[in-house]
Amino acid sequence: MAITNEDFAAANRRASDKKAAFPAAVSVHYDRRIARVVISLASGLELAFSPKQAQGLEHANPADLSQAEITPSGLGIHFPSLDADLYIPSLLDGFLGSKRWVASETGKIGGKATTAAKAVAARQNGKLGGRPKKPEKLISA
């Protein structure tokens, strides 16, 4: 598929609009003292988060995180030794990962929760025979 001059111009307009709507990163570093990646934006806002909460950085070590770089657009952070990139607008949109990833991580936490209400519900469900069996698929001839 060939990229036309119009396609190229449209992509540049979209990128310019995104840069105008979102402040660029001006610095990034890993703070070992608090175990956080710290991103400073041109607006003065500073973001600090645990790498364990960010998709692609969950298992990173401090040496890998200390090599963080700002991408040329200023809207991304690149971790060369991890081959991982964070796009800051999307990072904030899904809160440190894609919406799907954040939902799965939240579900894991909820599944581990133990409350009195959850225990009562499990006992009542057990008295009814547990989870209903899935219906067998009908075999068509």
pLDDT by residue for the chain (141 residues), tens digit each?
A: 788 999 889 988 888 877 777 788 999 999 999 999 999 998 888 999 999 988 889 999 999 999 999 999 899 999 999 999 998 887 777 655 566 766 676 666 666 667 788 778 878 887 877 777 777 766 555
Would the pTM of this model clear 0.75, i.e. be above it?
no
Give exposure, 79-100, as e/b (b: 16+ Cβ within 10 Å). Answer: beebebebebeebeeeebbeee
Architecture of domain 23-108: 2-Layer Sandwich (3.30)
